[in-house]
Amino acid sequence: MRVELSYDKLGSRLRQIGDLEVSYGRLGSRPKTLGNCDLDYDMAGSRLRRVAGELVEYDKLGNRPVRLGDLELAYDRLGNRLVRIGNMDIEYDMGGNRVRRIGGVMVEYDKMGSRPRHLETDGESHLDEQLLLVVFLVLIAFNRDD
What are the residue boundaries of the structural domains of the chain, listed by start? 2-141
Any idea which of 1-5, 39-43, 140-144 has the lowest mean pLDDT?
A: 140-144
- Secondary element (H or E) of residue 100: strand 99-102
pLDDT, position 25:
82
Q: HEC string of 26-66?
A: CCCCCEEEECCEEEEECCCCCCEEEECCEEEEECCCCCCEE
CB 115 within 8 A of CB 104: no
Q: For residue range 61-118, what is the model confidence (pLDDT) as tens digits?
A: 988 999 999 999 999 998 889 999 999 999 999 988 899 999 889 999 999 888 999 9
Instruction: Tell me the three state secondary structure of residue 138.
Output: helix
Q: pLDDT exceeding 70 applies to what percent of the chain? A: 95
pTM of the model: 0.86
pLDDT, position 125:
63
